[in-house]
Amino acid sequence: MPQKFNRRSVVKSLGIAATGITGTAALSGTVSAFAEGEQVEATTNLNTRKRPGTESSVVATVSPGEVGEIVNGPTNEDGYTWWGIHWLNRDVWGWSVERYLTSSGGSAGTDIVWPMNGVISSDYGWRTINGQDEFHGGVDIDNNNIGVGTPIYAARAGTAYTAYDSGGYGNYVYIDHGNGYETEYGHLNSFAVSDGQQVSRGDKIGGMGNSGNSTGPHLHFGIEQNNDPKPIPSDNYQNVSALGAINKDYSGL
């Protein structure tokens, strides 16, 4: 793991607060479709409103497949069940109707999500490079459609730091998630965070690049606990979507 610079102890912020959301608590005596912190996707072009109700102003219209996290609800208004949602890619809070939402399988409690749209070009584990066997402690993600500058998002809430490693990751961000856990984002061409900045899952932290010891534009994404790489389930040529859940429960988060 490359040497890290400018690290300092700060208070961790690992949850997503329902800041700016006004509404009622979960309805008593009902079975809820979702839970606080659960990730959901829009199934259609979906209005999210300032408050529950069809007369409330629209703060954003999200597209099918966009991912958000439940931060409040449910509550009934105008014959619909409404949930308070933080839409992650666009960093918008609002209320949307339950019938147009589906679970994406993610949870704010333990899950780490994919940080970029793209395809796995090299997965976790042993690999052979120029005839030499080496251990790859993360995954490489390419995006040839957008290329350099493809947005990179925080895979989980925590405290972000920036660093440079000329012989390895180049420009990279690492995020401290507490309990010894970190995620690492290497070979960036730009930073969108500063040292010690608190970030939420889905915040943009940089752009994909080709800095450091790199074979071409891509993102190196790693997960570590106490400086030991943790397995990331994936397959070469697997397509991944930014903020889609990784199928692994990293205990301790």
pLDDT of residue 197: 94
pLDDT of residue 130: 81
Torsion angle, alpha carbons of 55, 60, 66, 67, to 10: -80
pTM check: above 0.75: no
Residues of the chain predicted below pLDDT 50 = 1-30, 108-110
Domain spanning 118-240, CATH architecture: Distorted Sandwich (2.70)
Residue 124, amino acid: Y
Q: Domain residues of the chain, as ranges?
A: 38-107, 118-240
pLDDT of residue 66: 85
pLDDT of residue 4: 46
Closest CA relative to residue 158, chosen from 215, 114, 196: 196
Domain spanning 38-107, CATH architecture: Roll (2.30)
Closest CA relative to residue 45, chosen from 28, 66, 68, 72: 66
pLDDT of residue 40: 87
Q: For the chain, what percentages of helix, strand and coil (3-state, to nearest 5) are there?
A: 0, 45, 50
Distance CA 19, CA 29 (A): 26
- The pair of structure tokens assigned to 84 is 């308070």
- Judged by phi (left if over 0) then psi (alpha if -120 to 50, else beta), residue 125 lies in left
